[in-house]
Amino acid sequence: MEDVNFPQRLVHVDLKGAPPRMNYYEQIFPIIASMGATGLLVEYEDMFPYHGRFSHLRAPHAYSSEDIAALHTLAATYNLSIIPLIQTFGHFEFILKHDEHRPIREIEHYPNALCPTHPDSFPLVTKLITQVLELHTSDKFLHIGADEVWHIGKCPRCQDYMEDKKMSISEFFLAWMFKVAWWVKKQHPHLTIIMWDDMMRNVTADVLKSSGIGELVEPMVWQYQTANFDLPSDIFSRYSSIFKGLWTASAFKGATGSTQFLPPIQHHINNQLTWKRVLSENKGEIKNFRGIALTGWQRYDHYAVLCELLPVALPSLCLCLRVLTQGSFTESDHDYVSQALGFPHRINVLPFPRPQVVEQGANFPGHKVYVGVQMWSNFVCKYQAISNSEGMLGWFSDYLRSRNFTNPVQVENIMSQVNEVAENLSELRTHLIPWLLEVVYEDTVEEWVGSFIDPLLKKLTSVIEECKTQIMIGGRVRDYKKSDY
């Protein structure tokens, strides 16, 4: 099998959840550069300092223009290029959630995709692109998104337009992307435009050619599986006959579940290895391979909960970069990355099932958050084990408690176990908040704690209070008077 090189190895920085503080970039850039990263694919979403009539799009801790300038300077220090990513069709939630932009939704009730035939859509998209590119004047690439446009051609205006032009959904999609890309090329001819490929993955070569999109963009083929990629057999030959360049995308986090909290590292290592194999097998079909982006999704969409935090996934990222630079994953590769991140042992690439021994002793940036999330996951598993235990199910069921017919001997044992988890979790909360604040902003800390720690603490407290009530009652005669029949 002929080997394949990855000319560009981009680290995707997804800012639509848990955006890092600027000083965290200072800590991790030298690490990821030393591991083989060549650039950053920065998906700003609401973290960009939009101004004027778009000021309302900014998150509370959005980066300033000075921050973005500093990001460029810092990246250049470590020979990292920056590619901004702006969604221009689907995943438009951070804009369409605002009432003033509700009219340009494709489906009025859903904030996912814009309506390409609405007269305000194109001016809005071009103004957003203009503001972003004003702070990226030295960059050579622009990613215009366009993945997972599930709601397309649904509104009456779009349906009338397609019927009038005799267009299929695919042709309609390509027409909008051509319009956006044409405008970008006209205004910024030096830019190479990239877009996600999934919406045109099954479009025929004839339709792609007739759309003209091949002269304007380069597709980024994403796939996060670990064995056999779900890709059309002719995708590489077809794309190479249409487009001037080709990119791929793997994942180092955020691709194995919307509520994932620890990255299954071996899965992501295997994803990189599979990409290497697939590209090697198709090397003869691929012309002008640009490189790969290691995606690190922070939410599945703007409304979803946070998945793996960046500090928790830094070991996964470094191991995946090592795979791409070395072309394999050996024990020496494992040792190299583990030692570079300060682990006194090999990084655990199989963190599930939980609970497991918490990996401590590392000293990479954000390692305390890495430890804290592992501890939290163990406490969750311990509570789940108690909830499903013979004691809880056999002596503390909803039915028995509703009749106040419980044995204090068993209840005291249950309360002791639950109380231990509650105390440990409460103590972790006090430590984890300042650990998180070293890396992310206050609103992210509030969300993570409010999503994952506080609900469990509330549940544990409720069980403890019920235990106290049942112990006070103390082994009563069964109440036969309460009946649901």
Active site residue ranges: 148
C-alpha atoms less than 13 angstroms from C-alpha of 266 in its C-beta half-sphere: 6
The pair phi, psi for residue 293, each rounded to 5°, is: -110, 130
Burial class (CB in 10 A: 0-12, 13-18, 19+), 174: buried
- Give percent helix, percent strand, percent coil of the chain, each to the nearest 5: 50, 10, 40
Residue 81 CA, chain-centre distance (Å), reads: 21
49 Cβ contact partners less than 8 Å away, ≥ 6 residues apart: 58, 62, 63, 64, 65, 67, 68, 135
Question: How far apart are alpha carbons 328 and 324 in whole angstroms?
Answer: 7
Place of tokens 């592992």: 374
In DSSP terms, which residues pair with 85 in a beta bridge?
43, 143
Residue 165 CA, chain-centre distance (Å), reads: 37
- Find the helix packing angle between 367-387 and 454-473, rounded to 10°: 30
